[in-house]
Amino acid sequence: MAVVVRFLGHFADVYRPKPDILSIYLGHELMRLHDRLEAVIDEATFLDFVRALTADRLENAQAWGNGTIEDFLEAASSWADDSEFGSKQGLSSASPWKKFAVFLYCGKIYE
């Protein structure tokens, strides 16, 4: 499932997100969140993904399946239990950074 994140535009003027969140912009577009997830291989790309996930939450909170931290963590841990932390989805040889990025992503979407 690919998620397209729109330019924050007026939102950035109103809420003034941290500069590191705004640094994930490429011109006036963001890389898709799912593309950031797929790119995770190490600490640096993991942090890029976390910044993109943060920006997605700021811009698209209503689209998240789990709106509270409790629901988010419950969904992520349910995904980890159900998928054997990604082993059933081909992540058994993935780096720990990738597995944790998928864990966080599933906190957003898993129900």
Q: Say how far apart CA 63 and CA 61 lie, in whole Å.
A: 5
Prediction pTM value: 0.71
| CA quadruple 36, 41, 42, 44: dihedral sign | negative
pLDDT tens, position by position, 55-102 = 999 988 998 989 899 999 999 999 999 999 999 999 999 999 999 999
**CA dihedral for 70, 78, 106, 43, sign (positive or negative):** positive
C-alpha 8/C-alpha 3 separation (Å) is 15
Rounded to 5 degrees, what are φ and ψ at 5? -105, 130
Judge whether residue 3 has pLDDT over 90.
no
Per-residue model confidence (pLDDT) at position 6: 34
pLDDT at 40 over 60: yes
Better-scored residue on pLDDT, 8 or 22 = 22
Higher pLDDT, 12 or 23: 23
Map out the domains of the chain as residue ranges.
10-109
